[in-house]
Structures are given as structure tokens and as C-alpha cells.
Amino acid sequence: MDSITVALPKGRLAEKSFEVFASCGITTNIQNEISRKLFIYDNENNLNFILVKPSDVPTYVEHGAADLGVCGKDVLLELKRDCYEVLDLGFGRCKMVVAGPLNKKDNFLSNKRVATKFPAIAEEFYKKKGENVEIIKLNGSVELAPLVGLSEVIVDIVETGTTLKENGLTVYEEIFSSSARLIVNKASMKTKSERVKEIIYKLKSAVESDMFKA
Ligand SMILES: Nc1ncnc2c1ncn2[C@@H]1O[C@H](COP(=O)(O)OP(=O)(O)OP(=O)(O)O)[C@@H](O)[C@H]1O
Ligand SMILES: O=P(O)(O)OC[C@H]1O[C@H](OP(=O)(O)OP(=O)(O)O)[C@H](O)[C@@H]1O
């Protein structure tokens, strides 16, 4: 039986990722093992799970250090790694939006500054619109940028809208909807085809049973 390595994201997608794999009997109780261990071996199924930063998942998969991985569509669109996106897992739903101060929605500034954790997505969005902007890359707390004069708008993720609201911001435009995706290394799809396809099939059945919508 081919050995398979799966890169799972630490952070907010972690729990549902564990659940979706556990639910189809692919592994047993890995949640109990997470602690600070970054490598989990499932003996019974000859499966390795590695726990990595969400934005590193496509890197592990592209390079074949993992055969499969779970990450947000936002990360895939930002990084454009060379791997197959095979399944929408249905959880981790959120929206990528342009947002800014409540009272400035109708200010049509040229050359505005855009703060974001997603510079490639922001650049492509404004390029398509034919607007010239300055992209300012941040690593978090992006909603702060317009409050302190670092930028006029932000391109960021919204789920409940609480963070925007609590910082006096509002959605100006929606760019796309995101959810967690299953991705596969291109070579593994061929060389470990039987096992990879079996895992995709099992996960697809679990997802279609509606257990993981959120
Ligand atoms: N507020 C949110 N609600 C729902 N899903 C979200 C939210 N924020 C992010 N996500 C989704 O979850 C994924 C992981 O987010 P998480 O906050 O765990 O990591 P991160 O801090 O963005 O990652 P990194 O540490 O690699 O920068 C995102 O790529 C996105 O798809
Ligand atoms: O609409 P909401 O439900 O409020 O969620 C949106 C917030 O969640 C994410 O931030 P995260 O918690 O990952 O923090 P960070 O980006 O500042 O690290 C995102 O960047 C928003 O700030």
C-alpha cells in the first residue's frame, strides 16, 4: 500500500479538517494527538499527517512533500501553486472583500492605498478594473490600516462582519467567496492514483452528506 502524506492547516480550519478525515475512517482520533506534534502517523492506514501554517499547505503539496492538502480557496488564488484543486470541502466559508470606513464608501479616489494580506489578489482585482493603486502588504490586523492612515481601503476576509463593524468599516465590494479545498500533488495523482482517488472519493461522500457545512 502506497504511503500517503496529507498537509493539514493549523489554525481555524484545523478542527473541521481533522473531522472530515476522521469521519470517513481515514484516520482514528488524530484530534487527541495534535498537541505540539507536527507529524502524526496513522499506522493502520499508512497515512502521514503534517500540520503546517495554512498559507504553507500549497507549497508542501506542489513540491510533493505532501500528496494531499487542505487550504482555503483564498490561499490558492493568492499563491497560484501548481497543484490540482479537486474538492470543495464546504467549511471555512468566508468572503474576500474590499472594505473601508463607513462614511467614505462613495469617495472615488485615484491612486488609493490598499492594505492586505493578499497582495496578488488585490493587484489582480484592481488591474481588471483598470485602477491604479498602491498595495501595502500586511500580515494581520488589516482592519487597522484605514483607522491609522496607512491605507484608504483594505482587501481582506469577512465572515461574520464583526471585525469590520467593531472598527467602523464596511464592505465596499465583494471579490469572491472562499471555502476550504482539497488539493493534490500532480505527480501523486498519477503515481499513487489508486489511493489518492480512494481518499478523494471518501472525502467527497463525507462532504456530500452535509456534515461539514459551515
Ligand atoms: N474569519 C474567518 N472566518 C472563516 N474562515 C476564515 C476566516 N478567516 C480566514 N478564514 C479561512 O481560513 C483560512 C485559515 O485562516 P487562519 O486564520 O487559520 O490562518 P491565517 O492566520 O490566515 O494563516 P497564516 O498564519 O498562514 O497567515 C483562510 O485562508 C481562510 O480560507
Ligand atoms: O468577519 P469576521 O468574522 O470578524 O472575520 C474576519 C476576520 O478574520 C480574519 O482575521 P484573523 O482572525 O485571522 O486575524 P488576523 O488576520 O488579524 O491575523 C480576517 O482577516 C478578518 O480580520
193 C-beta neighbours (distance < 10 Å), count: 11
User: Is 12 in the same domain as 80?
Assistant: yes
User: Is 15 in the same domain as 65?
Assistant: yes
- Take atom 9 of ligand 2 and give the residue whose Cα is closest: 157
Q: Say yes or no: CB of residue 163 within 6 Å of ligand 2.
A: yes
User: Is 84 in the same domain as 185?
Assistant: yes
What is the complex's ipTM, to 2 decimals? Answer: 0.96
> What is the structure's pLDDT at 72?
98
0.95 cut: is pTM over it? no
- Take atom 5 of ligand 1 and give the residue whose Cα is closest: 92
Cell of 107: 469617495
User: Is 118 in the same domain as 87?
Assistant: no
User: Is 101 in the same domain as 163?
Assistant: yes
> What is the structure's pLDDT at 182?
98
Q: What's the gap in Å between 157 CA and the centre of ligand 2?
A: 6
Burial of residue 8 (CB within 10 Å: 0-12, 13-18, 19+) is: buried
Interhelix angle 14-23/193-208, nearest 10 degrees: 100
Q: Say yes or no: CB of residue 78 within 6 Å of ligand 2.
A: no
Task: Encode burial over 28-60: b for 16+ CB neighbours within 10 A, e otherwise.
Answer: eebeeebeeeeebbbeebebbbbbbebbbbbbb
User: Is 86 in the same domain as 11?
Assistant: yes
Q: Say yes or no: CB of residue 97 within 6 Å of ligand 2.
A: no
Q: What's the gap in Å between 142 CA and the centre of ligand 1?
A: 13
Q: What's the gap in Å between 150 CA and the centre of ligand 1?
A: 22
User: Is 84 in the same domain as 188?
Assistant: yes
Beta bridge partners, 171, equal: 99
User: Is 119 in the same domain as 139?
Assistant: yes
User: Is 121 in the same domain as 140?
Assistant: yes
Question: From first to last of its 214 residues, what are the pLDDT tens digits of the chain?
Answer: 889 999 999 999 999 998 888 887 776 455 555 567 788 887 777 889 999 999 999 999 999 999 999 999 999 999 999 999 999 999 999 999 999 999 887 776 777 999 999 999 999 999 999 999 999 999 999 999 999 999 999 999 999 999 999 999 999 999 999 999 999 999 999 999 999 999 999 999 988 886 655 5
Contact of 83 with 185, CB cutoff 8 Å: yes
Domain extent at residue 172: 94-177
Q: Residue with C-alpha cell 484545523?
A: 14
User: Is 21 in the same domain as 85?
Assistant: yes
Domain count, the chain: 2
**Separation in Å, CA 89 to CA 60, 166, 170, 194:** 19, 30, 28, 21
User: Is 56 in the same domain as 135?
Assistant: no
Q: Say yes or no: CB of residue 75 within 6 Å of ligand 1.
A: yes
> What is the structure's pLDDT at 200?
95
The domain that contains 111 carries what CATH number?
A: 3.40.190.10
Output DSSP code: residue 203: H
> What is the structure's pLDDT at 117?
98
User: Is 141 in the same domain as 117?
Assistant: yes
